[in-house]
Amino acid sequence: MPDSSMKFEALEKAISNTFEGIAFSQVLDCSFLALEPELKGGEIGVCLSLPDPANLKFTLVMGKAHAVECFQAVAPGIDLEKISDYIIADFVKELTNTVAGHLNAILVPHNEDMTIGLPVLLESDELSRELKPTAKREVLRFQIEEHGLFCTLT
Give me the pLDDT at residue 4, please. 76
Give me the pLDDT at residue 120, please. 96
Contact 152, 141 (CB under 8 A): no
Domain count within the chain: 1
Give me the pLDDT at residue 1, please. 46
Task: Give 69's contacts (C-beta < 8 A, 6+ positions apart).
Answer: 23, 147
Task: Give 93's contacts (C-beta < 8 A, 6+ positions apart).
Answer: 46, 119, 121
pTM exceeding 0.85: yes
Give me the pLDDT at residue 2, please. 55
Tell me the C-alpha to C-alpha distance, in Å, between residue 9 and each of 13, 54, 79, 133, 140.
6, 15, 37, 18, 11
For every one of its 154 residues, what pLDDT tens digit does the chain have, with 9 covering 90 and above?
A: 456 788 889 999 999 999 999 888 899 999 999 999 989 888 999 999 988 777 889 999 999 999 999 998 888 888 878 889 999 999 999 999 999 999 988 888 777 777 889 999 999 889 989 999 998 899 999 999 999 999 998 8
- Domain carrying residue 41: 4-153
Give me the pLDDT at residue 83, please. 86
- Give the span between the Cα atoms of 41 and 64, in whole angstroms: 9
**CATH number of the domain bearing residue 45:** 3.40.1550.10
Beta-bridged to residue 63, according to DSSP, are 43
Contact 130, 47 (CB under 8 A): yes
